Amino acid sequence: MNEHDSEMIAGMLSELGYVQVPDRKEASIEILNTCSVRENADKRFFGTLGQLKRRSKEDPEYMVCVCGCMMQQQHIIDRIKEKYPWVDIIFGTHNIHRFPTLLGNAIREKEQKIEIWDARESSEQELPAKRLYENKALVNIMYGCNNFCTYCIVPYTRGREMSRAPEDVLEEIEKLAADGVREVMLLGQNVNSYKGEFKNPGNQQKARLEGFVEEDGICTFSHLVRLIAGIDGIERIRFMTSHPKDLSDELIETFRVTDKLCKNIHLPVQSGSDRVLKKMNRRYDSARYLDIVRKLREAVPGITMSTDIIVGFPGETEEEFEDTLEMVRKVRYDSAFTFLYSIRTGTPAATYPDQIPEDVKHERFNRLVELVDSISLEKNLAYVGRTEKVLVEGRSKRNRNTLAGRTDGFKLVNFTIDPSAFMEKGEACSFDEIAEKLTGTFMDVRITNGKTFSLEGEAVL
């Protein structure tokens, strides 16, 4: 979500005539888009602000703008105003569209501008976006979260759930397809709780006849996915992130019957302990979670799974941490985002008295990562010898003489290609030309090596 917000901020600046530069030293405007999920991000943010002080004082035309989830918390704004007065613009998650106006006012009036909205006014999405990839796009289908997990600040910074109308989502994706986008990632804090209200009664009636409308006439997430699958040009559909309590049998069936829906799911578990899950207010237990995993794998053999896990939640015992390790062994995730629990001011868990010592959290974290990584490596090694269809994203970040892309199961593949297969007027193309020509296309890649976080291969031409 933050990444897509940054794309829209970049898009608005581009429409104003600004050009993005690769080095912050060359920038006349610097925007820091923040996340509040982890304490480490907060520390990095304030450290970066401190580094910008000298430049701000030396160059009166240089502007520092801060936005994102951190700005939705009053204690953060108070700290910026007190200790970082060189910040020119402060805005939040609900009023991104106001940034051009705030920027113009700050430049004209030469004074700090602070504008934070407590809630989003509507679910409309009409902002330009400067996409990170020409052939892949992020698409918000809903905003906010109603779950209030006891460790999480997101409902307080992103607001309550608000779904976009299905027609608006489809129109946006149709335009993206016309612009060459082949893959869309549907975004929401809890994407499978999407409940879109049809604007057109005829569309609602059609969905009702197909069995995809709830009693109140609301479009389900499964139906939205199937509608998107009917858009010409879109070849892959992904979504993030899903809450286990809202993952329906209907969505599992949609995985089975919808070829364009990628066979990959991010399904945060957070803990393998039922007592900890209850304290987290996750509203499922380990048995329910494992049942969902079973149903997914029965419906979609080979589906890849990733997850989120928190280590050291207040009161977590060694036995309960072992329950989490056992969950990892049973599910055998392809990858996992692992986090040390950190106190988030304003959340219920921040006040729990039984906080876990840092040394215990780190020791458990290391054991978890070792297990997760060993399983990831084992699963990736099993791909060796297989041929996978890869959507080429461009040159690899690790080796500029190779290409990179993702499989249907979201595996990152770095692969070589024979340049002699590409000839222009009898001469081999340069690698730059090959990369430009192949970016956004699908290629068959034979996997030659499996690593912990990626695969390696060679193009099949």
Q: Sketch the domain layout of the chain as residue ranges.
A: 2-115, 131-262, 265-382, 387-459
Give the Cα separation of 339 and 361 in Å (integer).
10
Task: Give percent above pLDDT 70 in the chain.
Answer: 96
The tens digit of pLDDT for each residue in 189-247 reads 999 999 998 887 777 777 776 766 666 778 899 999 999 999 999 999 999 989 999 99
Which class does domain 131-262 fall in?
A: alpha beta
**Common-topology check for domains 131-262 and 265-382:** yes
pLDDT at 131: 86
CATH fold of the domain at 387-459: OB fold (Dihydrolipoamide Acetyltransferase, E2P) (2.40.50)
Q: Where are the alpha helices (DSSP H) in 285-429?
A: 286-299, 318-331, 358-381
Sequence-distant (6+) residues with CB within 8 A of 436 are none
Q: How many other CB atoms are there within 10 angstroms of residue 48's CB atom?
A: 15
For residues 28 and 51, what is the distance between their CA atoms, to the nearest angstrom?
15
Q: Are 362 and 321 in contact (CB under 8 A)?
A: no
* Cα distances (angstroms) measured from residue 45 to each of 38, 51, 325, 456: 11, 10, 32, 34
Phi, psi (rounded to 5 degrees) for 157: -100, -25
Query: At residue 427, does pLDDT exceed 70?
Result: no
Q: Could you tell me the pLDDT band of residue 310, with boundaries at 50, 70 and 90?
A: very high
DSSP per-residue letters across 49-67? HHHTHHHHHH-TT-EEEEE
pLDDT per position as a tens digit, 44-95: 999 999 999 999 888 988 999 999 999 999 999 999 999 999 999 999 998 9
Token code pair at residue 377: 């490596």
CATH placement of domain 265-382: 3.30.750.200
Compute CA distances 68 → 21, 46, 116, 130, whole Å.
21, 14, 10, 18
> CATH assignment of 2-115, given 3.40.50.12160, 3.90.180.10, 3.40.109.10, 3.30.2270.10?
3.40.50.12160
